[in-house]
Chains A and B, each alone.
Chain A
Amino acid sequence: MAQAGKGRLNYRCPSCFMRDLDIDMFYDKEKKEYYCLRCQYTGTEEDVLEKNEMARFRYRAMMKRITDFED
């Protein structure tokens, strides 16, 4: 089995991101999946993107343009 490499983009582990850890994932060409060196997450690019959406759950005002800052 050949060594893993970086994928098309430097995807981070979505599971670790949700606990405030930025860990680059590596890509296993044979299994066609990204995997995390630190935790047990594995997933396709599609799954990574889906989980990244999940990671944004806490940013409830992320897309809101705020114009009032008065106390």
Chain B
Amino acid sequence: MSQINSTQGNDKFVLNVIHRPEMVPEYAEKVTGHGKTEDIGRKELLTESLDIFKTQQSIAHKNGIKTTIQMTYASLFNEEAVALAKEHHETYGDEIALTLLGLPCNEFREKYKTKDFCIWMFSMEDKISIVNDVFEKFHDCFGFYPESTGSYYMDAELINYIKATYPSVKCAVATCWEEGPKAYHTCNNSWYTFMDGGPWAPWIPSKANTHAPAANEEEDSGIVAIPHLSRDLLACYDGNGSNFGTHPQNVLRGMIYHDNQFPYLFNLIDQYRHLGKYNNGYAYNMMFVGPGWMNKMGRWEAPYELLVKSYEDGMAYYGQLKKEGKLIDMTMAEFADDFRANKHYTEPECALWKDILYGSDKQLFWYCDPYMRACVNMDQGGAIVDLRPYAAKLEWPVGIGTKHVVDASYPFLIQEKYRAGYFTHYAGEGTIRSAKVVHNGEEVDLCLCRTKAHFEENDGDRRIVLDPVEIEFYDLTVKLQTVMHFPEGTGEIRVERRILEISNPDAEVQINEYMVACYGTTEYMEDMTELVLSTKKGDTVCSINYEYKCRELFMDEAEEVACVLPPIKTKVSLGMADSKGATGYFKEGYAFSPMFTLGYKKTLRNQEVLSTWLKLERED
């Protein structure tokens, strides 16, 4: 297997491999049990499940990789599974941990009288009861409490309870990146895991909302969270997340292979290695394959032999990197300590990500810190196409008995797939943060200027510098460059538009900086009537309550244009370092276009720069 050779001396690429002895694997009962009445205690199901776990462990150990064994509740009733965990801990240094996945078993169903199996969807009362139950059962089996836990999603209330009750826990699998409406659709609207809007790489969750990283010790939930798998930051944003991650069988699910070869998996691992370049040399990978994905019946089109081969090949590549000193395998608990030792609270996670699958040159920049998660699309001239206001640290309890039984996603202000971006059909606007260049009645949106970005960093200022683009008007050509700054710990994005050249040096062009936004977690619109739009200059504030009336307001030399969104306790504002000669404005939107727009217009000449900022704050 070939590999990238750009590893720098101080780079650190950490790997967590996690296995769970899931006695009733997801999918297995549905797949292998087709045509039979449901029986989750079937002996052959239990035997096969444990065999798969043994196979996975064996493959990892053969390649010199230590694992974290996440015991499931069901496996705690199985003496062989418990004995295996103890043996592998002794022999290979594997961590014995506890997952809140894999709850289903006869014992669980008899006790809780439900077929629910996702811990975050239970009532808080049941969450507490289940956590106590499984943690105490774990203690009975092993004589200690676990240091690591997890599920597909761990809501803040759940994490807070676990940390308070079982303080030994320091690490948890806490979300699947961009698993939400897209996964729901892919599963024929039958897979209720809605957890969009979170970090793609390890983070320290805040006590208020798991997705939003803690900004300081006070907000620190006490654990280090890791995502379930390391996902393709381009493919997963548009397509089914379950096809594009460091999960070999997910890659098979996506049919991303030919003649039993799948170089995409290794490209994905290598691109994650490369992310160290944007994160002070620190990069991370996680592989966590549930046993249901390696069942003897095969999985969809892939026969068992290919399922196993894909796991062997993936683990062999990790093993090869380890042998070459390019990878450090850790248990989850070891990783939590290492992460805290190498990161500080406001340090962002950055990823300048390129397409490695579709053969385009498309490039995205992802940014995540305690105040926001943002995605910038270079194929759209550096437009912000996704924006999550973590600054609000929005309390969002989930589970039965709350307003959000299954919807654990962090709300967006901008989401170009769910609420359109630049392109809409015939009318209305989609969510996007871009700029239009205007000259003599002609208007060109930078969304139509494809470009590339380069990452730079100094003194806590991370920025992407975009290659200049040319805008051609009937009688004028303008060369313009965009630079986007992400100053650490501010909740701000600063955007500079530099006019590098104009074919007629005496000509002027108008730049219209704008942001079209709304709020939500899904594809469908929310009630906008609580929103308040405003402009401000000195003591003069003009504001309106959102009533879908398509109103617009312009204010010369406005210091700020803003929208307060009470349903998500967020204030988003645009402003300029120097608004002299500029006009700030807001637009209300209407029923067919339930959005709002904030913007600034200013006329520029050759060599001039327009600098605006976007700020996110909590507002109660």
Interfacial residues, chain A to chain B (CB-CB below 8 A): 5-6, 9-12, 17, 20-24, 38, 52, 55-56, 58-71
Contacts and interface: CB of A to CB of B under 8 A. Distances in A.
Contacts of B355: 61
Given A22-B187, A56-B255, A67-B2, A10 B31 contact: yes
Q: Could you tell me the dominant secondary structure of chain B's interface residues?
A: loop
B274 A69 contact: yes
Contacts of B274: 69-70
Given A24-B300, A61-B358, 14 more contacts: A5-B34, A9-B303, A59-B255, A61-B357, A62-B257, A62-B264, A65-B2, A65-B266, A69-B4, A69-B6, A69-B270, A69-B354, A70-B274, A71-B453
A9 B297 CA distance: 8
Given A17-B255, A69-B6, A60 B358 contact: yes
B323 interface: no
A71 B356 contact: no
B504 interface: no
Contacts of B454: 71
Contacts of A5: 34-35
Interface residues of B, number: 49
A52 B261 CA distance: 16
A20 B185 contact: yes
A60 B359 CA distance: 5
A67 B186 contact: no
The 7 closest A-B pairs by CB, nearest first: A60-B359, A69-B274, A61-B359, A66-B267, A65-B263, A10-B300, A67-B4
Contacts of A62: 256-258, 263-264, 357
B256 A22 contact: no
A67 B271 CA distance: 9
B3 A52 contact: no
A68 B187 CA distance: 34
A64 B263 contact: yes
B6 A70 contact: yes
Contacts of A71: 352, 354, 363, 452-455
Given A10-B31, A11-B300, A67-B2, A61 B356 contact: yes
B350 to A, nearest CB: 11
Given A71-B363, A71-B454, A22 B240 contact: yes
B458 interface: no
B188 A21 contact: yes
A9 B301 contact: yes
B188 A11 contact: no
Contact of B239 (A20, A38, A52, A65): A20
Contacts of B360: 60
A23 B2 contact: no
Contacts of B354: 69, 71
Q: Which of A23, A66, A67, A68 has the most CB of B within 10 A?
A: A66
A56 to B, nearest CB: 6
B267 A20 contact: no
B4 A22 contact: no
A5 B4 CA distance: 46
A35 to B, nearest CB: 15
6 contacts: A9-B298, A20-B186, A21-B185, A61-B357, A69-B4, A69-B354
B34 A6 contact: yes
A28 B109 CA distance: 35
Contacts of A24: 300
A66 B453 contact: no
A65 B267 contact: yes
A67 B301 CA distance: 29
Given A62-B256, A69-B270, A22 B356 contact: no
A61 B303 CA distance: 24
A61 to B, nearest CB: 4
Contacts of B357: 59, 61-62
A11 B253 CA distance: 11
Interface string B346-377: 00000010111111100100000000000000
Contacts of A56: 255-256, 258
Contacts of B257: 62
